[in-house]
Chain A
Amino acid sequence: MNFWLELILKLVAILGFVLTGALVVIYAELKAGSHMQSRIGPYYAGGRWGWAQPLADGLKFLQKEDLAPAAADRTVYGLAPYVVMMSTIAVFVVIPFGPDMVGRDLDLGIYFVLAVSSLSVLGILMAGWSSANKYSLMGGLRAAAQLIAYELPLVLVSAAVVIQAGTMSLNGIVASQAQTWFTVGGVDVSAPFLIKGQIIGFTIFMIASVAELSRIPFDMPIAESELTMGYLTEYSGIRFTMFFLGEYAAMISLSAIAATLYLGGYAVPGVSGNILNVIGPGVMLAKISLLVFIFIWIRWTWPRLREDQLQHLAWRWLIPISLANIAVISIFKVAF
């Protein structure tokens, strides 16, 4: 197929998926969160179960005045949501939904994801600094310290997956999970990395993801009761919406990465070839939904950590454990 035509088709498909996905996740969070707290949540918008609530919110935000404090650094203040959204969208380039259902199967794969997704720290720091507001500044600094502290466990456990798979390409990682692990009575058994010794890696990946998303129990950068809204305090209207949308899109992308690295991605045992392009996206979607639900579940049932407890957890526990994880995985790789 023509390169440009293919690119445009993939672009439209991925963009559509990201935006609808983000809206669906926002609705799921409103609804699931309220049921976990014995409320009913949105009820009126759209006529039935309040299904149109995220859309209505978006439309409302679109019509709100886009304020900036007089003292703010307006250029940086305006550019911050761009940086966040650019890094969020760029991650979706490499996420595979099938052997050919992928924006572009970069050789760098997981490395590209980690590099690009950490760019959003820059946007958050820009937002916090440029607002000329004490809450924003503190929120921005907290966010930066938190995101870099949890970036490390995320990177290190991903490195353990790369060691096991022997490739950084996400398609390659899926393929190596679909390989035959062992054969029992003539039946080839394949297993995702979660079962093949990466359970600690998966746990750390999920904990670090929650922290990267600044969600409860790691939401000190926002911490309504202390910092109003952290680095988002001064943002209103559409720019706030962009941060909000980016956050939920990042939730989807991190879930998709976790599903690809640990849960076998789009692979289905015993199925290969073109048919995987058809059922792959469905399989992937199911796994993403499951992980997103876990994120929502954690958010609505856990209390918030204190700032120093959070740093303590990352530096004292997660980083040493993920280094040990690398050691164990690589010893097993060399020994067997």
Chain B
Amino acid sequence: MLNQYYGDYVTVAIFIAVGALLVGGAVGASKLLAPRRPGDFKDVAYESGIEPVGGGWNQSHIRYYVFALLFLIFDVEAVFIFPWALQLDTFQAVGRGVFILVEMFIFVVILLVGLIYAIRKGVLKWE
């Protein structure tokens, strides 16, 4: 008999597997029904009807990496906020509510200063 703990994992794993099966089944059915006649011009990358200039993997502007860095910082912050949010009740029950609140504010404000720095630095301005 599966207990509560493993049941969670099994359920999630099976749902994910069914998601994959759904796509697999549809692709398989399409393989049976759809025609398959590869030709030179069908396999050319689409570029509004003209022959593609250069390869598909062009160099692109690096501006996006700043967002990735900012995201990483704030996502980790969010990960810390969730356990804190759950324990707020516990701390409040022993009379340390204000203490834990101030702790988190210090943490958030430090990161907020970082965001303000990034904005002032102009990473969100595109010319």
Contacts and interface: CB of A to CB of B under 8 A. Distances in A.
Interface of A: 3, 7, 11, 14-15, 61-72, 78, 81-82, 85-90, 92-93, 103-104, 106-107, 111-112, 129, 131-138, 141, 144-145, 148-149, 151-152, 155-156, 159, 162-163, 166-168, 228, 233-234, 237-239, 241-242, 307-308, 311-312, 315-316, 319-320, 323, 326-327, 330-331, 333-334
Q: 8 tightest A-B contacts by CB?
A: A132-B56, A89-B19, A238-B30, A70-B43, A86-B19, A334-B97, A308-B126, A104-B11
Interface residues of B, number: 67
B7 A132 contact: no
14 contacts: A70-B43, A85-B19, A85-B23, A112-B12, A132-B55, A133-B45, A134-B45, A137-B60, A148-B71, A167-B86, A241-B26, A307-B126, A308-B126, A315-B70
Nearest to A64: B34
Given A62-B33, A68-B43, A151-B75, A86 B88 contact: no
Contact of A238 (B11, B26, B101, B126): B26
B81 A326 contact: yes
Given A133-B56, A135-B46, A103 B15 contact: yes
User: What does DSSP make chain A's interface, helix, strand, loop or mixed?
Assistant: helix
A68 B34 CA distance: 14
A78 B58 CA distance: 21
Contact of B56 (A69, A308, A327): A69
Nearest to B54: A134
B45 A131 contact: yes
Interface of B: 1-2, 7-8, 10-12, 14-16, 18-20, 22-24, 26-27, 29-31, 33-37, 42-48, 52, 55-58, 60, 64, 67-68, 70-71, 74-75, 78, 81-82, 85-86, 88-89, 92, 97-98, 101, 104-105, 108, 112, 115, 118-119, 124-126
Nearest to A147: B71
Contact of A69 (B20, B43, B60, B82): B43
A238 B75 contact: no
Nearest to A308: B126
Contacts of A137: 56-58, 60
Contact of A237 (B30, B47, B55, B64): B30
Nearest to A2: B1
Contact of B43 (A67, A239, A319): A67
Contacts, number: 205
B87 to A, nearest CB: 9
Contacts of A70: 43-44
A61 to B, nearest CB: 8
A169 B85 CA distance: 13
Which of B68, B86, B92 has the most CB atoms of chain A within a 10 A radius of its CB?
A: B86
Contact of A134 (B36, B47, B85, B125): B47
Contact of A308 (B115, B119, B125): B125
Contact of B16 (A86, A135, A312, A315): A86
A114 to B, nearest CB: 8
A160 to B, nearest CB: 8
B19 A88 contact: yes
Nearest to A313: B124
Contact of A65 (B12, B34, B48, B115): B34
